[in-house]
Structure 1
């Protein structure tokens, strides 16, 4: 059989005569020099870079499973039926959720959602993947929960105002009741869902109706003016500053100064004047410092009223449409969570 390989062509002597024995070529120069002895068809292209970052390199052992962030975004969006609510839950932007899901659809080669103007719905392929993803994430959460169950640590999420005004002052009593359970408190305004991000239970101020979790109202909150005992003639509201907090100010169940003044039959007082604070505890601190009167919730002022740091100049209190709620994952809670819930409900007199 005749070979089709072209004969190796030797280099001209003139090209070799310029070689200086004192020159030490680099490794890349040596490789290129050796490649010049090969037939042209066999010579590699110099511009090619053999790196593992090249998109055209494929490894046969890669299974092609989607990334965890992509599956997490898909599962949250499928469960809520909304990219926006999924973004809120995962604390990322809506565009990030959209990009992750689009990349997942591209990888799978099919559409997972039917996009609508205000809501998305699952396609047939999306429903199939959601069933598997939901089961997989449930198993992951169960595995993580088993690890947490071996550690007697309780992670709570609540608002800064509730933490400062009620929970932290009462934690010593919980420590005496359950000394083997250590508490980690995450006080912020994020709507973290219990059972995610390592959060065992949440304490939230609102109207209730929290989906996908077990929720229990802790007590009925009553609202009334409070001030420092040093404030002179506090019943004449025209002489004093009204202090406002901005928590859920647009909610119809909220009791603000306008609603309270109307119920009290007090006229000639501008319900909108006075400084505004992002958190309730800030308005109460200002009232305690003698800067004016604030509307105080039962849970946030009862300790200061009992200790004489605050007083109620009026007897009228209105029942609020908002309350503090205890949120836990659905199902049987771990023992440490169950013990905290029992203690909290007893302590708040629910």
Structure 2
């Protein structure tokens, strides 16, 4: 028996799909914000119009008939397609404004964005590298949809969640270590030049990352913290790659260089950083934000697995 597809039958099919998925008229009613009797009546009317039962009704239990299972598979697939289409249609055409620290953008995020565009071609990302501290007002004023920050701060107003813990390690090129064998073996600091990121986050104490590592591993060297300071970690890492000294690096900055052998984890000892990477979003309900956030967290998970394989953490 053919049935016209109009609003009433769509509502009835929604009741049927929920009842078939949950195998309960009561649970379906709760999910749809209806009464149990309304759902039961809708299903009964649908069965009468079709001319065959969709459920076997047992004491406190529902079982789909063979035809009921076939209709459920079709209805579930159809409603899922409709929901996904509505989400796509509701996605803004404007670029997703992503605000990120310069070094993290260059060393970690930017090389991965090609994959995001391949997977989500309908979402255009506009990446802006900046240092400034963020709060809800700043994100709204600058129209920032997503921000990534590395700091130990707490965000009480913005939606914020940690996405990647970090670890510190001294790194240097093989050539530099060959010229400073006493340091490479841990015997003495000698005339080694320490390379510092002077601003790992806004308001960070001076030499915080070298100090954190030395306090944990070589407290006897704490009196020799002077060295060359850079306002970007990518500059201190670049100096290490150019055989100019030993940089204190975060794993997200140098994992590829460690893997290739261009840089060496000098002592093989890693110390948890005093900060971690945080994801800040302004509007969680924005479909573009949801898609990008899910992708970013998956990339962080994959990076953590690779780091575990290469560095054991």
Q: TM-score, normalised on structure 1?
A: 0.53
Alignment of 1:208-219 (within 5 A): 208-219=153-164
- How far did residue 299 of structure 1 move? 1.6
Unaligned runs of 5+ in 1: 1-147
Task: Confirm or deny that 1:281 pairs with 2:226.
Answer: no
For 1:156, the equivalent position in structure 2 comes to 98
> Could you tell me how far apart the structure 2 residues matched to 1:251 and 1:189 are?
12
Q: 1:251 to 1:194 in 2, by over 3 A?
A: same
Q: 1:255 to 1:220 in 2, by over 3 A?
A: farther
Counterpart pick for 2:290 among 319, 330, 338: 338
For 1:169, the equivalent position in structure 2 comes to 111
- How far did residue 294 of structure 1 move? 0.7
Q: Which moved more, 1:158-167 or 1:256-265?
A: 256-265
Q: 1:285 to 1:250 in 2, by over 3 A?
A: same
Task: Confirm or deny that 1:201 pairs with 2:146.
Answer: yes
- How far did residue 200 of structure 1 move? 0.9
For 1:182, the equivalent position in structure 2 comes to 124
- How far did residue 244 of structure 1 move? 0.8
Query: What SS class does the counterpart of residue 185 from structure 1 fall into?
Result: strand
> Could you tell me how far apart the structure 1 residues matched to 2:224 and 2:202 are?
13
> Could you tell me how far apart the structure 2 residues matched to 1:215 and 1:335 are?
17
> Could you tell me how far apart the structure 2 residues matched to 1:249 and 1:243 are?
19
- Structure (1 or 2) with the larger CA radius of gyration: 1
Q: How many residues are treated as equivalent by the alignment?
A: 202
* Paired residues of 1:205 and 1:324 also in contact (CA < 8 A): yes
Q: CA RMSD in A?
A: 2.5
> Could you tell me how far apart the structure 1 residues matched to 2:204 and 2:142 are?
28
Unaligned runs of 5+ in 2: 1-89, 305-313
Q: 1:288 to 1:206 in 2, by over 3 A?
A: same
Q: TM-score, normalised on structure 2?
A: 0.58
> Could you tell me how far apart the structure 1 residues matched to 2:132 and 2:205 are?
22
Counterpart pick for 2:218 among 265, 274, 282: 265
> Could you tell me how far apart the structure 1 residues matched to 2:207 and 2:119 are?
34
Question: Higher helix proportion, which one?
Answer: 2
Query: What SS class does the counterpart of residue 150 from structure 1 fall into?
Result: coil
Q: 1:150 to 1:267 in 2, by over 3 A?
A: closer
